[in-house]
Amino acid sequence: MSDNHHGSGHHHNHPHDNESPYSHDLSSHNARMKSDEAYMEDKVVPVEHDLDYFQVRVVGLLNLLREKGIVTTDEMRRTVEDIYAQTPTTGARVVARAWVDDEFKERLLADAHSACGEMEIDIEASSVTKLIVVENTESLHYMVVCTLCSCYPRVLLGQPPTWYKSFPYRSKAVTDPRGALLDLGYTPPEDIELVVIDSNADCRYLVIPRRPDGTDGLSEEALARLVTRDSMIGVADALTPEEYEKVAFD
């Protein structure tokens, strides 16, 4: 990204960039963070007019933490880098292993921490207090919501999607879960017992989706590619090989 100083000519210089570089999210903000030295030389960053209330608070807090020497810009940058390095690929690896190895699956369902440890995934070192894995079957379908905030197994799935944090999903998932699934474009199999998990306290949940038909000969690696983020939240099925081909090569 450029390192211009957000002067008054900024928008004129970038006719296609109608929004402030600070208006998107924290990642674009962090991409623009300066070194501590540069920050000290240029303390006043004239961007407040582009920020909403909470963004101003965040910037204010970051500045205070920096000024007081509690955290450095580099530490914050590295932390944000670590946060965005977490992706659903990790959860998909775990699911694929469970699909091909029944004994692993039993260990995963009984004690997810030690089973993930077998795959060099350290749950204890993450912010997850207790990981619980549940399995969707022909007769039972789990879906996960956090009605109180946005609890989510980030070490396995990365950052939660915006809809997961939204009020409509958080309320409808418990007051009308089948309607909430329909809103997301998903109709669960007929006659299935639906179990809504409200992730309200210390546990974080990973759903093992049903293994799609026609995947008997596939390798663990190929299976992992069929495991989408949303299927591990329980608001979708895993992709069939045909669906994957369509998504990947369209």
Partner 1 sequence: MSKFQVGEEVRIKDTYFEGHHRTTEYVKGKSGKIIRFFGSYENPEILAYGGDGKPFQDLYWVQFNLNDLWEHKPGEKKDKLNIEIYDHWIEAL
Q: What residues act catalytically?
A: 146, 149-151
- Identified binder of partner 1 from the candidate list 74, 75, 202, 245, rule CB under 8 A: 202
Rounded to 10°, the helix 88-100/102-110 angle is: 120
Output the smallest distance, CB 177 to partner 1, in A. Answer: 7
* Residue 153 binding partner 1, by CB under 8 A: no
* Residue 130 binding partner 1, by CB under 8 A: yes
- Identified binder of partner 1 from the candidate list 63, 200, 242, 247, rule CB under 8 A: 200
Cα(69)–Cα(87) distance, integer angstroms: 31
- Identified binder of partner 1 from the candidate list 91, 153, 177, 212, rule CB under 8 A: 177
* Residue 137 binding partner 1, by CB under 8 A: no
Decide: 147 and 219 in contact? Cβ < 8 Å. Answer: no
Stretch that binds partner 1, among 30-38, 101-109, 197-205, 218-226 (CB under 8 A): 197-205
Long-range contacts of 224-229 (CB under 8 A, 24+ apart): 224/89, 224/92, 224/93, 224/95, 224/96, 225/92, 227/88, 227/91, 227/92, 227/95, 227/96, 228/88, 228/92, 229/88, 229/91, 229/157, 229/158, 229/161
Residue 201 Cα distances to 16, 86, 141, 148, 226, angstroms: 44, 22, 21, 9, 30
User: What is the DSSP annotation of 151-213?
Assistant: ---HHHH-SPPHHHHSHHHHHHHHHSHHHHHHHTT--PPTTPEEEEEE--SSEEEEEEPPPPT
Half-sphere exposure of 1 (CA within 13 A, CB side): 15
* Residue 182 binding partner 1, by CB under 8 A: no
- Identified binder of partner 1 from the candidate list 40, 64, 148, 222, rule CB under 8 A: 148
* Residue 179 binding partner 1, by CB under 8 A: yes
Of 7 and 179, which has the nearer Cβ to partner 1? 179
Stretch that binds partner 1, among 24-32, 76-84, 174-182, 221-229 (CB under 8 A): 174-182
* Residue 127 binding partner 1, by CB under 8 A: no
Number of residues that bind partner 1 (CB under 8 A): 22
Any idea how long the chain is?
250
* Residue 234 binding partner 1, by CB under 8 A: no
* Residue 197 binding partner 1, by CB under 8 A: yes
Decide: 27 and 84 in contact? Cβ < 8 Å. Answer: yes
Of 55 and 147, which has the nearer Cβ to partner 1? 147
* Residue 196 binding partner 1, by CB under 8 A: yes
Output the smallest distance, CB 212 to partner 1, in A. Answer: 24
Which amino acid, 35? S
- Identified binder of partner 1 from the candidate list 87, 126, 147, 240, rule CB under 8 A: 147
Q: Which residues bind partner 1 (CB under 8 A)?
A: 129-130, 132, 147-148, 174-179, 193-203
